[in-house]
Chain A
């Protein structure tokens, strides 16, 4: 059974701070890793994808992947109230497009 674990939160950070979201996965064969943002009542929005070990930066977002530790994280710099949402970690296995989601971490950025 493939599992993706996330701290459900809520995670509260002050505006302007760095928010750090973490995720672990059980399937060592996982190949692709994603972070989605989902606002209440809306569908998920892809914000980061990462496929190899290391860091990947896109604007205020940095994804970090460590396959040896089966760990993926998302850093949000200069957090804004508009970043308040549920962040979903998702992975796909070898030869599959099907996403396995974590239950999501609810982030609140306090003005």
Chain B
């Protein structure tokens, strides 16, 4: 199978602190990973595209200096929420793209998500 892990699964922090979330593809290499945010009863919102070895591409309205993304290897991307505030409380989900060399098809697998609560 294709497994994507996220750590931590939940975190509670004080306003003004920074939180780092890790996303790992466990059994495949992913040149492209994505970060999403989801508020209760709302749709997934794409925050940024993370490519290994290059700068992330952020969606309109997402502050790149607040949401720092690093894709240091083919199996790891990190999202750091800097100076978190209560309005940053949300469910953060990563996904990793697996490409099948036989036919160049690709599938995107999601991590289990990280629930962030900022007090």
Contact = CB atoms under 8 A, between A and B. Distances in A.
Interface string A42-79: 11111001010000000000000000000000000000
Given A41-B91, A43-B110, A43-B112, 13 more contacts: A42-B112, A42-B113, A43-B93, A43-B111, A43-B113, A44-B110, A45-B110, A88-B44, A92-B106, A97-B34, A97-B49, A97-B108, A101-B44
B78 interface: no
A34 interface: yes
B interface residue count range (under 10 / 10 to 19 / 20 to 34 / 35 or more)? 10 to 19
A92 B105 CA distance: 11
A46 B105 contact: no
Contact of A46 (B44, B93, B109): B109
B87 interface: no
A60 to B, nearest CB: 18
A61 B43 CA distance: 23
A98 B44 contact: no
A90 B110 CA distance: 13
Contacts of B108: 34, 46, 90, 97, 99
27 contacts: A32-B105, A32-B106, A42-B112, A42-B113, A43-B91, A43-B93, A43-B110, A43-B111, A44-B110, A46-B108, A46-B109, A49-B107, A51-B105, A88-B44, A97-B32, A97-B34, A97-B49, A97-B106, A97-B108, A98-B46, A98-B49, A99-B34, A99-B46, A99-B95, A101-B43, A103-B43, A104-B43
